[in-house]
Chains A and B, each alone.
Chain A
């Protein structure tokens, strides 16, 4: 356990910057050939690309569960608030029954939707693996059109990664732990 945490802490990241999509895709191939596992490298882009443009693995997510859970929570809270307040303060108004379903349905509906939306946003952030405290290897040129390939690996494998990135035609290779 402790060993693996130390291992994690010892990880270093390097970034290769590419100006064309194809050379970035080549870099991924080169990294795979050099024996890097799927989770060790990722593509960073300043714009969404069609899935699989770089031959990267398709991200799997479970976002669709979040709104359902949120909706259920919101519905229950809505039910408790509407029914609870009416029963706690039972004054007949407008000749309506104390527990009037149509008005309760309106408020419960809003509660359900609110729950679903809040949980969805939480889900989006969580599934995007955000917030991220440490940026690792990154370059501001990525949001300018360069395509970054970041490799996060053991210290001793950094050299191999850099070689692979350069070999694929990286215009620049940066080390995450060195400030520029």
Chain B
């Protein structure tokens, strides 16, 4: 049975703006800690820029290490945000209401994190980043559109701009609410940012249409971004195990798996940190848990296809790579950990209603998925390069150096810090969406039973 608490607009304002108009006690220490980790990482980055990429563990033949793993991982996380919010908007699922904003914001910050991992850190020479743009007339040298490393920035930038605008449009009514609750300079700033929102029927109508239309436009972008990331790998024929047509869907579904899990983690955190249990109820976790069962199983199917076709080739090097991945220590240990954490523990557990409705268990299982999915990317990238075949005469292994570890930690800290800072400036749960849900709430009595219902126009 779904629980529902009918709240007035005043109560909603008070609850959901608590983090914006006031400051929770834990907020400053947490942000400070994350900022410290981030700054340490920036220091490590500076050291790497100064000394060169030799300070990392990258060496022949493994030139793509944890930075690339993080790039793929954060791009993956960024996917769920928009996916959850866009698909749930298009299907008019009621449980989307408290989740959309946090998911979209997670998208923006993890995309920025991914950009840091790839564009700034992974490339090694960030000062040449502008080479991917059509620029440099006098030199007469232009970017090579035929390279996947050009497709990538075009897709990621499109996605970043699109998702930021998506967040911005949905923020307009909420910024007006903050404007009305604040004074002085702060009020002026919010007045400016909300563009003078008043809440006329026309503005609300456009807001509703915008939600649907932008969702429909962002979804194809979202699919393209991770596909293109996967083609960074798949179109190459050198490294073993990469040249597979399954990669685009496999990466997408993996991204959704880890991303939806991350959104579930954020939902639990919102209850724990801000105490919004009246807005994010076990019903919401139940709904996202059911979604995760479908996504996790679909991911497993593509994982299975990837493997079966690696064996189907009957090619020696390919099979040798697979043997390395599953039989040779430490890869075998990582592989076992990956399969167990990404699928074998969480998905069977989600089948139980009690697990899906428990904050703690949902947090633990979804965190486990993300550990597994991080390892998945690691196990695709590193062993594949270790066994790179044509024209490579030395095989080597790879171990991340402390510099890399610090920078990776910085990216994780960045995303957490970004979310926290955002939550101080803007409400993390869309107030107007919650209010709309309250207005549209109804029930139908059938005999002795009351069925929750909602208004559809």
A and B touch in the complex (CB under 8 A): yes
Interface residues in chain A, defined as those with a beta carbon under 8 Å from any beta carbon in chain B: 42-51, 54, 56, 58-59, 61, 63-64, 67, 81-82, 84-86, 88-89, 91, 93-94, 96, 100, 103-104, 106-107, 109-111, 113-114, 116-118, 120-121, 124-125, 127-135, 138, 140, 142-145, 148, 150
Contact between chains at A48 and B208 (CB < 8 Å): yes
Residue in B closest to A135 when the chains form the complex, CB atoms: B196
Bound complex: CA A121 to CA B168 (Å) = 9
Residue B228 CB within 8 A of the other chain: yes
Chain A residues with CB under 8 Å of B146's CB are 86, 93-94, 96, 100, 103
10 smallest A-B Cβ distances: which pairs?
A: A132-B196, A145-B9, A47-B435, A140-B180, A131-B195, A85-B142, A59-B202, A89-B142, A48-B204, A130-B195
Chain A residues with CB under 8 Å of B440's CB are 50
24 A-B interface contacts by CB (under 8 A): A46-B435, A47-B199, A47-B438, A47-B439, A48-B207, A63-B206, A81-B145, A86-B146, A89-B141, A91-B144, A100-B145, A103-B151, A110-B224, A114-B157, A118-B165, A120-B213, A121-B214, A130-B172, A131-B195, A132-B197, A132-B198, A135-B198, A140-B180, A145-B8
Contact between chains at B147 and A93 (CB < 8 Å): yes
Chain B residues with CB under 8 Å of A88's CB are 140, 142
Contact between chains at A117 and B165 (CB < 8 Å): yes
Bound complex: CA A117 to CA B222 (Å) = 13
Chain B residues with CB under 8 Å of A81's CB are 134, 145
| Neighbour of B134 across the interface among A85, A93, A103, CB < 8 A | A85
Contact between chains at A113 and B196 (CB < 8 Å): no
Residue B221 CB within 8 A of the other chain: yes
Contact between chains at A143 and B165 (CB < 8 Å): no
Which residues 243-284 in B have Cβ within 8 Å of A in the complex? none
Chain A residues with CB under 8 Å of B202's CB are 42, 59, 61, 127-129
Total residue contacts A-B, CB cutoff 8 A = 193
Contact between chains at B158 and A42 (CB < 8 Å): no
Residue in A closest to B191 when the chains form the complex, CB atoms: A135
Report the minimal beta-carbon distance from A47 to chain B, rounded to whole angstroms. 4
Contact between chains at B140 and A47 (CB < 8 Å): no
Bound complex: CA A43 to CA B201 (Å) = 7
Report the minimal beta-carbon distance from B170 to chain A, rounded to whole angstroms. 10
- The 0/1 profile, CB within 8 Å of A marked 1, for residues 327-348 of chain B is 0000000000000000000000
A133 and B196 in contact (CB under 8 A), knowing A110-B155, A110-B224? yes
A51 and B162 in contact (CB under 8 A), knowing A89-B141, A131-B196? no
Chain B residues with CB under 8 Å of A100's CB are 145-146
Contact between chains at A49 and B9 (CB < 8 Å): no
Contact between chains at A120 and B134 (CB < 8 Å): no
Residue B210 CB within 8 A of the other chain: yes
Bound complex: CA A86 to CA B143 (Å) = 8
| Neighbour of A48 across the interface among B150, B176, B224, B432, CB < 8 A | B432
Residue B220 CB within 8 A of the other chain: yes
Bound complex: CA A84 to CA B143 (Å) = 11
Bound complex: CA A20 to CA B206 (Å) = 24
Interface residues in chain B, defined as those with a beta carbon under 8 Å from any beta carbon in chain A: 8-10, 13, 134, 140-147, 150-151, 154-155, 157-158, 161-162, 165, 168-169, 172, 176-177, 180-181, 195-210, 213-214, 217-218, 220-221, 224, 228, 432, 435-436, 438-440, 455, 457
Contact between chains at B169 and A130 (CB < 8 Å): no
A121 and B169 in contact (CB under 8 A), knowing A110-B224, A116-B217? yes
Report the minimal beta-carbon distance from A106 to chain B, rounded to whole angstroms. 5
Contact between chains at B154 and A111 (CB < 8 Å): yes
Chain A residues with CB under 8 Å of B154's CB are 106-107, 110-111
Chain B residues with CB under 8 Å of A150's CB are 198
A49 and B204 in contact (CB under 8 A), knowing A85-B134, A135-B198, A145-B8? yes
Report the minimal beta-carbon distance from A176 to chain B, rounded to whole angstroms. 12
Contact between chains at A85 and B210 (CB < 8 Å): no
Bound complex: CA A113 to CA B172 (Å) = 23
Chain A residues with CB under 8 Å of B213's CB are 63-64, 67, 120
Bound complex: CA A43 to CA B204 (Å) = 11
Report the minimal beta-carbon distance from B441 to chain A, rounded to whole angstroms. 12
Chain B residues with CB under 8 Å of A145's CB are 8-10
Contact between chains at A107 and B221 (CB < 8 Å): no
Contact between chains at B218 and A117 (CB < 8 Å): yes
Chain B residues with CB under 8 Å of A109's CB are 224
Chain B residues with CB under 8 Å of A45's CB are 199, 201, 204
Report the minimal beta-carbon distance from A65 to chain B, rounded to whole angstroms. 12
Residue in A closest to B165 when the chains form the complex, CB atoms: A121
Bound complex: CA A91 to CA B169 (Å) = 43
Bound complex: CA A30 to CA B168 (Å) = 37
| Neighbour of A43 across the interface among B13, B143, B177, B200, CB < 8 A | B200
Residue in A closest to B456 when the chains form the complex, CB atoms: A50
Chain B residues with CB under 8 Å of A113's CB are 158, 162, 217, 220-221, 224
Chain A residues with CB under 8 Å of B439's CB are 47-50
Chain B residues with CB under 8 Å of A130's CB are 172, 195-197, 203
Report the minimal beta-carbon distance from B135 to chain A, rounded to whole angstroms. 10
Chain B residues with CB under 8 Å of A59's CB are 201-202, 205-206
Bound complex: CA A110 to CA B161 (Å) = 11
Contact between chains at B145 and A103 (CB < 8 Å): yes
Report the minimal beta-carbon distance from A102 to chain B, rounded to whole angstroms. 9
Bound complex: CA A108 to CA B425 (Å) = 36
Contact between chains at B201 and A56 (CB < 8 Å): yes
Contact between chains at A143 and B206 (CB < 8 Å): no
